[in-house]
């Protein structure tokens, strides 16, 4: 997508992609089991306070930081920009739209160069960086890959009370919109936005926010996702599986949602589609279409809609929540939508029911 200049005259920074996330976790050993032993992420570095992880195709220092803290939370989302001059561009752009910016020196996050941090207008702690330490890319170190090898970070998914406002903010930042879930009354329930040439770098999920809905990692193939399920079954750790495996309607990707030992949600995701042409069409899904989330019409478990990780501001304080004005659930007296509710059709009768729990 082409970045557009704002009214302040400062163009948005040229964001390449979602770059890394920092999660606050309460027990580093338990997290290490989940992310390293189970999911097979590579440890680039670790100390008493944090573990820095990357996936097999990644050559930057990390795509995930697990930092020890008292309460599970999102510490930071980080976008990579196209060069160090774009870190300056981010500072100018956000100052221009009235957002406090904070410049942090190289090494403020181990492996990352001088960067700019903000609490974004949606309430999320976000960093823009370019310089980063390079490490060895393990794409062909098949001797180290397990059957469920993860190749790279794919995207962030954030829960926001006002999806339309968040959509405006991210398109202003130059993101393209690949898909949305809408109704015929101008409500937007969810949206998927990209800078790299895939379906998304960030998705917006309507709900109490700001909260992190999930972080997603990509595998090369479907069988690697299925293998994670089999391993969890074999270890009797199946309770870490929250939703799936299955095929998304939105994005067409194959997916699995896991919950880590602190309850942070991780998606494992593969094979969505190319969005790199400038006229890539936006796909609009009706909230009434039961294939929008699970293409096979499977129930979405209620926790997937209700649960999310609280977020920290730049000083490590938990950001308060706001509730959405419109919830996806109810519309003109009929229970519908991507909020755990659906409509069953029997003959010409429409029967509302709650997915996974008949009412």
In angstroms, what CA-CA distances link 131 with 21, 115, 134, 139, 161? 16, 8, 9, 22, 33
Q: Do residues 99 and 346 lie in contact, with contact meaning Cβ atoms separated by under 8 Å? A: no
By CB under 6 A, residue 109 contacts ligand DHY: no
Q: How many Cβ atoms are within 10 Å of 151's Cβ, its own excluded?
A: 19
Residues 207-226 close enough to bind ligand DHY by CB under 6 A: 216
Helix (H) or strand (E) run with residue 108 in it: none
Which of these, 125, 82, 123, 134, lies nearest to 104 by C-alpha position? 125
Point out which span in 62-70, 74-82, 247-255, 344-352 binds ligand DHY (CB under 6 A): 247-255
Nearer CB in complex with ligand DHY: 86/251? 251
- DSSP secondary structure, 161-191, as one string: S-HHHHHHHHHHTT-EEEEEEE-TTS-EEEE
Which of 250, 266, 287, 311 binds ligand DHY (CB under 6 A)? It is 250
Which of 293, 312, 327, 331 binds ligand DHY (CB under 6 A)? It is 293
Point out which span in 14-22, 57-65, 95-103, 245-253 binds ligand DHY (CB under 6 A): 245-253
The minimum distance between CB 248 and ligand DHY, in angstroms, equals: 4
Q: Residue 75 in 3-state DSSP?
A: strand
The minimum distance between CB 75 and ligand DHY, in angstroms, equals: 21
The minimum distance between CB 99 and ligand DHY, in angstroms, equals: 27
Q: Which residue has the closest beta carbon to ligand DHY?
A: 293
Nearer CB in complex with ligand DHY: 97/329? 329
By CB under 6 A, residue 267 contacts ligand DHY: yes
Q: Do residues 215 and 236 lie in contact, with contact meaning Cβ atoms separated by under 8 Å? A: no
Which of 269, 290, 309, 339 binds ligand DHY (CB under 6 A)? It is 269
By CB under 6 A, residue 157 contacts ligand DHY: yes
Rg for the chain, CA atoms, rounded: 20
What does the binding site for ligand DHY look like in residue numbers (CB under 6 A)?
A: 157, 203, 216, 248, 250-251, 253, 267, 269, 293-294
């Amino acid at each position: 997508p082409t970045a557009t200049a704002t009214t302040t005259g400062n163009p948005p920074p040229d964001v390449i992609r979602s770059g890394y996330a920092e999660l606050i976790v309460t027990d580093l050993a338990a997290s290490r089991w989940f992310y390293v032993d189970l999911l097979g992420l590579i440890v680039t570095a670790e100390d008493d306070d944090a573990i820095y992880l990357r996936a097999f195709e990644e050559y930057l220092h990390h795509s995930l930081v697990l930092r020890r803290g008292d309460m599970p939370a999102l510490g930071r989302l980080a976008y990579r920009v196209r060069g160090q001059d774009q870190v300056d561009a981010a500072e100018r752009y956000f100052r221009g739209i009235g957002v406090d910016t904070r410049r942090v020196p190289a090494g403020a996050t181990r492996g990352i160069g001088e960067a700019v941090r903000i609490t974004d207008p949606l309430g999320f702690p976000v960093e823009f960086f370019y310089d980063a330490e390079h490490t060895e890319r393990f794409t062909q170190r098949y001797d180290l890959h397990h059957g469920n090898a993860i190749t790279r970070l794919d995207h962030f998914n954030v829960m926001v009370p006002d999806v339309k406002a968040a959509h405006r903010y991210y398109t202003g930042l130059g993101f393209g919109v690949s898909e949305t879930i809408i109704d015929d009354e101008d409500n937007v329930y969810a949206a998927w936005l990209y800078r790299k040439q895939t379906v998304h770098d960030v998705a917006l999920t309507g709900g109490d926010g700001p909260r992190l809905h999930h972080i997603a990692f990509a595998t090369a193939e479907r069988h690697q996702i299925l293998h994670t399920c089999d391993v969890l079954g074999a270890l009797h750790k199946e309770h870490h599986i929250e939703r799936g495996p299955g095929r998304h309607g939105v994005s067409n990707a194959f997916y699995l949602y896991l919950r880590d030992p602190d309850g942070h949600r991780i998606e494992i995701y593969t094979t969505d589609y190319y969005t790199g042409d400038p006229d890539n069409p936006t796909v609009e899904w009706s909230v009434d279409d039961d294939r929008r989330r699970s293409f096979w019409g499977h129930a979405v478990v209620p926790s997937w809609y209700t649960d999310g990780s609280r977020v920290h501001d730049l000083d490590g304080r938990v950001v308060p929540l706001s509730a959405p004005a419109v919830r996806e659930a109810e519309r003109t007296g009929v229970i519908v939508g991507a909020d755990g509710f659906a409509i069953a059709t029997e003959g010409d009768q429409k029967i509302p029911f709650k997915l996974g729990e008949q009412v």
